[in-house]
Structure formats: C-alpha cells, structure tokens
Amino acid sequence: MVEWEYNNYLMVVKVLNDFLSKLNSQCSCVLQQRIEIRKLRQGEHLILGFSIGGGIDQDPGQNPFSEDKSDKGIYVTRVTPEGPAEVAGLMMGDKVMQVNGWDMTMVTHDQARKRLTKKNEDVVRLLVTRKSLEQAVKHSMM
Amino acid sequence: MFCRTQTTRAAIARGSALEMEIRRGKFRRSVFLDTLQDSDIQKKIDHEIRMRDGACKLLAACSQRDQALEAAKSLLTCNTRIMAYMSELQRMKEAQVMQRVARRSSDAGPMDDRLPCKGKVAISDLRIPLMWKDTEYFKNKGELHRCAVFCLLQVGGEIHDTDMVMVDRTLTDICFDNTIVFSEASPGFELRVELYSCCSEEDYSAGSAPRKLASKLSSSLGRSAGKKLRVAMDPGACSPTSNAGAATLLLPGPAVAGPKYHLLAHTSLSLSHVQDSFRTHDLSISGNEECSYWVPLYGSVCCRLAAQPHCMTQQMMSGCLKVKQLGGDPPSWTNVYGVLKGTNLFCYHRQEDMEANVEPAFTIAINKETRIRASEKDPHSKAQSICISNQYGGEEVTHTLSADSREETHRWMEAFWQQFCDMSQWKQCCDDLMKIELPSPRKPALVTSKQGSLYHEIVIDTSDDISTVTDILTRRMQELELRSQLGTSPPWMSLFEESPGDASLTSDSDSPCWAEPLSLSSPRFRPRTLSLDAKLSTLRGRGYGGVLQCSCQPPSSSSLAPIPAQCVPQATLSCSSSTSSNSSSEGSHSPSSLDGTPFSRPSSARRSLRNLRAKLDPRNWLQSQV
C-alpha cells in the first residue's frame, strides 16, 4: 500500500516538475530554479543522490555541460535514479549557483562538496540554473 | 648526543664537525666560551651541517641529473656557509681575547668612535653575457654541450645562492631572476659574487648512479679505474681554488660522488658600485677552454646593486621639540613632535598626527649640506638650543629648536651627529631612497588553461569516425520520416510542430519561440563536440515523454522493427529515470507498465554515451558524490 502511494507521489512530483520546466523553457531564457532536497539517511550517511563536477581548482574545459568552456562553476553530472535529488527535480547538467544561501560560483570542488554534505543539515536548498529546452535542442541538432 | 662539561656551558654536539675539529686540535675548546653570539653561530653551524648531511644523502639517492645538480648546489652552499660561520666564530673569539687583554692593560676611555648604521643591500637582475665562438653555433654533431651554472653571493657571514640555470650554446646571456637581499650590511661591505658551473653530461666515470659507485668500490679498483675515479673526485685541475674542495679538506664530510661545481668567475662589489640603476662590472675568470665546466664568458656581469641604509628607512630619533618662530620679539615657540628619518626632520603638530600619517606641519632638511650647532644658553630659557641651517637657493635659512631638558637636547645632538656619520659613510645611498623589491614567494608555474576559442572547444574523438555522426543523423532522419509517414510522431516532435500535439502534453507549444519548426531535412555535418554529446544524452534523458498519461506509442508497426528505435523508447524510459549515463541501471530499468516493445539499444547511442562516460571519468575531471 505504502509503496503504491509513494510511487504515486513520485509521479505527481515528476509531472509537476516537467510542467514547470516546460513552462519555464517557453521563455527561452536561462531558467533559475529553487530546489529543495531532503537528505536521505543511508546507514550513517546523509545522501543527496547526485554527483557534482567543477570548481575553481578544476579544468573547466572538461565540463561537458557548460556552455562557456571557461565556466568554473559547479555542475550536476549525475542524478541517482529515485534519489532525493531526482525527486526534488534536480537534473543532470544543472549548474548549482547557491546552496542554503552560500555561493557556489566561486568555490573549489572540495568546498562545494563540503557545503552540500554538512552533517547538521537535513535539507539543502539549491538555486540552480538550467538552460532552456529550446536552446538545448537547437544546439544538439545543429 | 650532547656533551656538557663543567668547564664550558657551550654544548657541543657529539659527532658534529666542531667536535671533530676540536679533536683534531684545530680549535682549542677553551676558545669556545659561552656568549649569546656564540650560541647563535653554533646553532647556525649545526643547522648547516644538518642541511649538508641531507644534501649528501639526496645526492647519493637521486638518479636524475637535474636533481643531482640541485643537490650538489645545496651541498656547495652549505659548505661555504659552514666555512663562513666558523671563520666568523674564530674572529669573534679573537676579538674577545684582544678586548680582554686591552682592558686589562689600559684604562680605555668611553668608546668614542661612532659606528655608522647598517643597511640593506640588494642585488638583482644578474646577467652575464656569453660569447660563443661561431664554430660553436654551427657545431651540430651530437647533443648540445650543457653546463649547469649558479651564483653564490656573499656579504660577510650571509651567503645566498641563486637558482640554477642550464646553459648551452642557444643562450646568449645567463640571467638570474632572483633578488637577493642582505639585511645587515655595513657601509664597508664587500659583496663577493662567484659563478660556479658544472658540466652536465653523462661523463662521471664514478657513475651518476650510486649503484655503479657501490659496485666499483666494493670490487677492487684496477689502476685505470682508480685513476679515473681520482680524476672525477678531483675538484678539477683548472681551478686554483675551489670552495667545495677546500671545504671537504677541512670538514670531514662524507665523500660524495656526483656532479661537482667549479668556480668559473668571481668579482667583488662594494659601496662604490651601488647605484639605483643597472651597471656593468668586470668579472675575473678562472679556468680556461680545456676545462669541462667551461662556459665562454664575455667577461662582465650586469646587475642592479641597491642599498638602503637604516637611517633612510627607519626613524632614528623622535620626541617633542619647540621651534622658535622666525622673527618677532619676544620670540615665540611652537610645540611640535619631531621625527628624524632619512634626510628630513619631520615636524608634526602632535604625535597622533604622525601615527595617522597626516602630513607634517613642516619639514626641515637634514642632509650633507646642513649645518647644525648647539648655541649658547638662551638667557630666557635654561636649555641649550639647536640651530639648523640650510641653504635654500641662495638664502640661508636657520631653524632654532629647543628640547625640554638638557638630556633631550643632548640626545638630539647625538642623533644628528649619528645621522651625519651615516650619511658620510653611506655616501650616495643617502641622497635618495633606493627601491628594493622584496623577493616574493615564488608562485607555482601557472598551467595555461585552455583558451575559450572554438578551436579548443571542438574535440574530435579519435575513437569515433566522422561518419558515425552522419550515420546517426541519417538514421534519425529516416526514423522521423517514417514516423511522420505513419502519422505517429515521437512526443517531443510535437513540441516543434505547429499542429496541436498530443493531447497528453498539457502545455501548448504554440509559443513564438518555436515558430520555426526544426528542419531535419539536411543533416548538417558537424564534428563531434563535448557539448554535443552532453546535449544528446540529456535530450534523451529529459522528460519529453515524461507525462505518464501520454500514450507513448511504441512502434507497433512491423516496418519499424528493423530500424533500431532510438529516441522514443528512451523517452518512455525517462519517466522513471532521468538519464545518468554513468548509472548502471540504464538498460535494465524499463518499467513494464510503460514500454511494451523491447527495444534494442543502438550502437551509436551507446558509443556516444560511452564517450560521455569517458568524459565524466573522474580521472579526467573530478566528480564527487553527495
């Protein structure tokens, strides 16, 4: 019973997220989204369910998601399926701008990781940027 | 192990070079009576000995040429420093003994000779021009004859070395970028510049590898081998003096194999060479063409030698003064806070002004032309007053100052006399303050990041053919054509078409942004780029057909079966998993409720995903799981 409800909940969340992203992408501008992720406890760790790449100490040329190859920001490189981040609407390729009010555009990779994995925080509120749908499609089809 | 005896409080480390020398009888133990300065120098000697041991060990252990050269350089520097410290120690001892003798014999009056202040001496931008013979330039056989060179700079007890520079015939000058600052130099300093060089070729018959040496030493040496060894160990027949050689005689350091530096040229600089600009000085060259470490020097060295005496940079004297106002009778006095620094006496209204860096009320010049005298007792006040006269243009201007008490006046006069002494000793350095740039901590070599140009952005995978791109596009084209023929279009196509798309898509795609339908008619050829790959995979992953209520029509028609279905089934896949190309659950994660037809993963898509996976490989670009 509970499982079915949870699945329904997931579906609803997904629908809403997709609807929102489509709405936003119609503006053909860079989308900024606030995403609230509730950490999941797995044993003694609190996980968010995604991976990040980037940082001011990393080589920005190797970032496959950034438009500007000198962008040293923090990008989401992977989202664990059914994880807390995916449920909250985080997508691969999103650029993380802020975490709980802390800036993430000028941080080293390790600083970014630390800001996301604070043990005393149960919820992280991210401000992410996502390129519009149209731009993404245009670029890939060109 | 320290050995403390009752006769002397100075602790002499057992096994240290000092103890060895004492045992040899070179220095008498009684000479080493304890004073603060002694223990200072003793500490320095011990430190250098430790450094030297470290350098020896490194030399024995390293296998690479440049490491060995660096270690040999440190070894030479340490040896020279130890020599300098020991001679200084001996000098101090002798001076102490002489002093004691003098005091005993005569009643020495108060020390009357004024010592000039010390100062900072900096040498920078050393450049030694070379003079290669034209035969050298055109000599093309074999490798370049290379030498490793560095400079050793010495002022009194302070010894510094520059970085090592490799010299070959492609170089026209040897440039040393270091700025070396000697902090406590007296005006009569002698800056000794020594250029050491070492041949940098595989010529050490004793073996640059410690293993060779060990094997040679363990087995008995034949006559020829022994001769070769001796030649290698010898500091070089060409150099008359070699610091390294002399040092090893005196100090029982371990015999080290490996590169040995020889003195190539030297010169001495003093106060007369100090100037705020570049100057050329002559070099005395030792060695000749026959030596292995020879580098053809032009015979001069260019450098910038600057000096900052302390009297120019520090406050020599400060205190409250009264300045007599010129003119007017009875004379009125103004209270000022005077600061003697450099060639000026700055007078501030209050002490706080000076600390707050406010401009002084007025400034009195104190330079070589100034005349200062203490005038007779002023009938009105008890204290003596000081008259400072300067020539401004043709006029002589006299300022009269008075201090609070006799002692203050005396101190001020002392300060002025000291200033004059300093200025006479430091001569041209006191005309103007010379700038000395402090050597900044060396920054690590900046790795030039990739430029933001298109050239750098385009990455053509060697593993993929360009043809695969066209393959993908043509296949996609075919599929889309077929699909449009059949009337069923992938859900995402509806986003681009003018016609109202699937009922499932709740948002009307009729926005001005998408007015022009995407034309997929001609697959425009484009080399693979990182962004392309990323976009491709995100495109597949994003919820185009994300709305679950949509009837994601699987390609039911048989004609579509042979064509590997690409985008559509993956769109349905995305309902439950936003694609992560790294996740292993890709293929297996097909919810049975949504997808009826099993699909075959196309090889090209797999390849592009693999590319993305390779690019997201943590070895290339760090990623962290949170």
Q: Which residues of B514-526 are buried (b: 16+ CB within 10 A; e: fewer)?
A: beeebebeebeee
Tell me if chain B has a CB within 8 Å of the CB of A15.
Answer: yes
Among the residue ranges A62-76, A122-136, B416-430, the one predicted with the least confidence is A122-136
- pLDDT at A48 (0 to 100): 93
Q: Give how far Cα B297 sits from Cα of A140, B148, B167, B479, Å.
A: 62, 14, 11, 76
Longest dimension (CA), chain A: 50
Contact B517, B496 (CB under 8 A): yes
Angle at B350 between CA B347 and CA B356, to 5 degrees: 95
Most confidently modeled range among A27-36, A48-57, B32-41: A48-57
State yes or no: pLDDT of B7 exceeds 80.
no
Chain A's closest residue to B578, CA to CA, is: A81
> Mean pLDDT for chain B?
69
pLDDT-based confidence at residue A135 (cuts at 50, 70, 90): low
In percent, the amount of chain B with pLDDT more than 90 equals 10
pLDDT-based confidence at residue B484 (cuts at 50, 70, 90): low
Question: In angstroms, how far is the first alpha carbon of chain B from the final one?
Answer: 53
Nearest Cα of chain B lies from the Cα of A131 at a distance, in angstroms, of 11
pLDDT tens per residue, range B521-552: 444 444 555 555 555 555 555 544 333 333 33
pLDDT tens per residue, range B595-604: 434 444 456 6
Give B533's contacts in chain A (Cβ within 8 Å).
64
pLDDT-based confidence at residue B57 (cuts at 50, 70, 90): confident
- pLDDT at B152 (0 to 100): 93
Output the six-digit token pair for B357: 């860096």
Give A134's contacts in chain B (Cβ within 8 Å).
513-514
Q: Give how far Cα A102 sits from Cα of A106, B434, B603, Å.
A: 10, 47, 43
- pLDDT at A23 (0 to 100): 63
- pLDDT at B313 (0 to 100): 87
pLDDT-based confidence at residue B104 (cuts at 50, 70, 90): low
β partners of residue B122: B181, B306
Bigger pLDDT: B257 vs A83: A83
pTM for the whole thing? 0.48
Three-class secondary structure of residue B352 per DSSP: helix
Bigger pLDDT: B382 vs B364: B364
Distance CA B383, CA B374 (A): 10
Are residues A81 and B576, on separate chains, in Cβ contact within 8 Å?
yes
State yes or no: pLDDT of B119 exceeds 80.
yes
Select A30-140's CATH number: 2.30.42.10, 2.40.40.20, 1.20.1050.90, 2.60.40.10: 2.30.42.10
Distance CA B100, CA B105 (A): 9
Burial of B351: CB neighbours in 10 Å, binned 0-12, 13-18, 19+ = middle
What phi, psi does B238 have (nearest 5°)? -85, -35
A 98-117 near B (Cβ less than 8 A)? 109, 112-113, 116-117
Average confidence (pLDDT) over B14-27: 61
- pLDDT at B593 (0 to 100): 39
Question: In angstroms, how far is the first alpha carbon of chain A from the final one?
Answer: 47
Three-class secondary structure of residue B468 per DSSP: helix
Characterise B63 by phi-psi region: left (phi > 0), alpha (psi -120 to 50), beta (else): alpha
Complex ipTM tops 0.85: no
State yes or no: pLDDT of A76 exceeds 90.
yes
- pLDDT at B567 (0 to 100): 39
